[in-house]
Amino acid sequence: MKVLVIGGGAREHALCRSLSLDPDVTALHCAPGNAGIAEVAQLHPVDAMDGAAVARLATELEARLVVVGPEAPLVAGVADAVRDAGIACFGPSAEAARLEGSKAFAKDVMAAASVPTGRSYVCTTPEEIDKALDAFGAPFVVKDDGLAAGKGVVVTDYIAAAREHALACGRVVIEEFLDGPEVSLFAVTDGRTVLPLRPAQDFKRALDGDEGPNTGGMGAYSPLPWADPKLVDEVLETVLQPTVDELRRRGTPFAGLLYAGLAITGRGVRVIEFNARFGDPETQVVLARLRTPLAGVLLAAAEERLADQPSLVWRDDAAVTVVVASHNYPGTPRTGDPIEGLADVVAQDAPHAYVLHAGTRLADDGSTVLSAGGRVLSVTATGKDLGQARERAYAAVDRIRLDGSQHRTDIAREAAEA
Ligand code: AMP
Ligand code: GLY
């Protein structure tokens, strides 16, 4: 089958890598892609946010399946435009993607479906904001209601900072602080049947030891040796299935990837957030462990036949990914710097370690790879356990040279040593 992937980050590179290894995929296309994706897929300079243009491209290419990676096009209705053109699309409708696009909507769905999550208030006025902040006390958790590219959430001990962020947002969700390790669990769903993937953990803060500002994610690993083996079944039963059932009941079924961001608190599992798409960088490690060919699973979800899909098969391997980011990320990043050492990774670390590209582009010479965003590369490795996967990932990171770049040195360290 011919497949078109929309987006151009490391998540899309991971998706394209898995799809390129699927014997059922005869042609792979990506729009807009990046310099790394260009090695496995044919790129098309089409704006991911332009539903009509994406649908036109999919029609021209005679794509059997379109996979929409990032949240912004999903919330903007790009999956609807593709389906309206009669082409199967993996990704929820704009209505269902509100689960990620509006934190207040997600809270409403969770309340209706009795899904465990933090207590919260939706506020629009300074009076409501002050009342909610007083009710919870520190640490304060203040979330912009809408999509904010990873910058919408402030967790702070300082009420002045909490109030300032809340007032800047317009509509905010103020929430109780949830203490405990975080887990990302993804599920593929066709709106009725829910197929959970393997859990992963993301590292959100910029610096080692979970210091520094929040980012889009600086690394991830899977499996989670410290997690309860019953976690996936429990989350399926208490979170994923009830949420999917509630959206179907409302007449806006959610078909695509449902991402549950969870806190494992002393009082049990709580949902921190839902996303309507594969997480980045967790996808890099989850897909590295999936043995079942990916295209058939995503197509079955897009065509509402997931109930007939055999169980997913997983490798015993562990996987670790380390994000290499630009100078000054998550502030305004420096871009346009040459990246060296990529060929050394291919020569010395493949197939156990490989580089997935996030913000990269080819220079005019057609061969030099340049940094083009905040998160630049996601260096991924597998191994017999987390320790080996970690060693391989960091050995590959050490071969890469990007002036001013930064990465965390403690991705998966605690879990590997446990
Ligand atoms: P989100 O954009 O919702 O993923 O939030 C970003 C990060 O903020 C999460 O990964 C958590 O680390 C943190 N966070 C969000 N909500 C809470 C909460 N209720 N309690 C503690 N930390 C939170
Ligand atoms: N890794 C966090 C996210 O994808 O939102």
Q: pLDDT (tens digit, 9 = 90+) per residue, 32-73?
A: 999 999 999 999 999 999 999 999 999 999 999 999 999 999
Regarding whether 74 and 135 lie in a shared domain, the answer is no
If one residue of 11, 74, 144, 280 were mutated to test the ligand 2 pocket, choosing by the most ligand atoms within 8 A of its CB, it would be 280
Q: Is the CB of 217 under 6 A from ligand 2?
A: yes
How many residues are present in the chain?
418
What CA–CA distance (Å, rounded) separates 117 from 141?
13
In this structure, is residue 227 part of a structural domain?
A: no
What CA–CA distance (Å, rounded) separates 243 from 239?
6
Q: What is the dihedral of CA 197, 199, 201, 204, to 10 degrees?
A: 50
Domain range enclosing 64: 2-90
pLDDT for position 134: 87
Regarding whether 67 and 27 lie in a shared domain, the answer is yes
Separation of CA 391 and ligand 2 centre (Å): 24
pLDDT for position 15: 98
Q: Is the CB of 279 under 6 A from ligand 1?
A: no
Give the CATH number, domain containing residue 348. 3.90.600.10
Regarding whether 140 and 80 lie in a shared domain, the answer is no
Ligand nearest the Cα of residue 117 is 1
Q: Is the CB of 69 under 6 A from ligand 2?
A: no
Average pLDDT, the chain: 96
Separation of CA 357 and ligand 2 centre (Å): 16
Give the CATH number, domain containing residue 163. 3.30.1490.20
Least confident of 171-175, 182-186, 250-254, 269-273: 171-175
Residue pair 197/290 in contact by the 8 Å Cβ criterion: yes
Q: Is the CB of 153 under 6 A from ligand 1?
A: yes
Regarding whether 410 and 356 lie in a shared domain, the answer is yes
Q: Where are the beta strands (DSSP E) in 25-64?
A: 27-32, 42-43
In this structure, is residue 286 part of a structural domain?
A: no
Q: Which of 140, 175, 210 is the last residue of a domain?
A: 175
Tell me: pLDDT of 192 over 70: yes
Q: Whose CA is nearest to atom 3 of ligand 1?
A: 273
Separation of CA 160 and ligand 2 centre (Å): 27
Q: Which of 50, 69, 90 is the last residue of a domain?
A: 90
pLDDT for position 152: 84
In this structure, is residue 372 part of a structural domain?
A: yes
Average pLDDT over residues 226-250: 97
Average pLDDT over residues 193-215: 95
C-alpha radius of gyration, the chain, whole number: 20
- How does strand 268-275 pair with strand 256-265? antiparallel
Regarding whether 85 and 36 lie in a shared domain, the answer is yes
Regarding whether 162 and 83 lie in a shared domain, the answer is no
pLDDT for position 33: 97
pLDDT digit string (tens) for 22-36? 999 999 999 999 999
Where helices occur in 201-266 by DSSP H, the ranges are: 231-235, 241-249
The pTM of the full predicted model, rounded to 2 decimals, is 0.95
pLDDT digit string (tens) for 306-355? 999 999 999 999 999 999 999 999 999 999 999 999 999 999 999 999 99
| Number of domains the chain contains | 3
Ligand nearest the Cα of residue 69 is 2
Q: Is the CB of 71 under 6 A from ligand 2?
A: no
Q: Whose CA is nearest to atom 11 of ligand 1?
A: 272
Q: Is the CB of 265 under 6 A from ligand 1?
A: no
> Which DSSP string corresponds to 169-193?
HSSEEEE----S-EEEEEEEESSS-
Average pLDDT over residues 161-171: 87
Q: Is the CB of 272 under 6 A from ligand 1?
A: yes
If one residue of 177, 215, 272 were mutated to test the ligand 1 pocket, choosing by the most ligand atoms within 8 A of its CB, it would be 272
pLDDT for position 153: 87
Regarding whether 404 and 344 lie in a shared domain, the answer is yes
Ligand nearest the Cα of residue 257 is 2
Q: Is the CB of 279 under 6 A from ligand 2?
A: yes
Average pLDDT over residues 148-167: 85
In this structure, is residue 34 part of a structural domain?
A: yes
Q: Is the CB of 219 under 6 A from ligand 2?
A: no
Which H or E run contains 268? Answer: strand 268-275
Separation of CA 73 and ligand 2 centre (Å): 16
pLDDT for position 150: 62
Q: Is the CB of 378 under 6 A from ligand 2?
A: no
pLDDT digit string (tens) for 352-400? 999 999 999 999 998 999 999 999 999 999 999 999 999 999 999 999 9
Indicate the pLDDT class of residue 137, thresholds 50, 70 and 90.
Answer: confident
In this structure, is residue 59 part of a structural domain?
A: yes
CA atoms within 13 A on the CB side of 349: 27
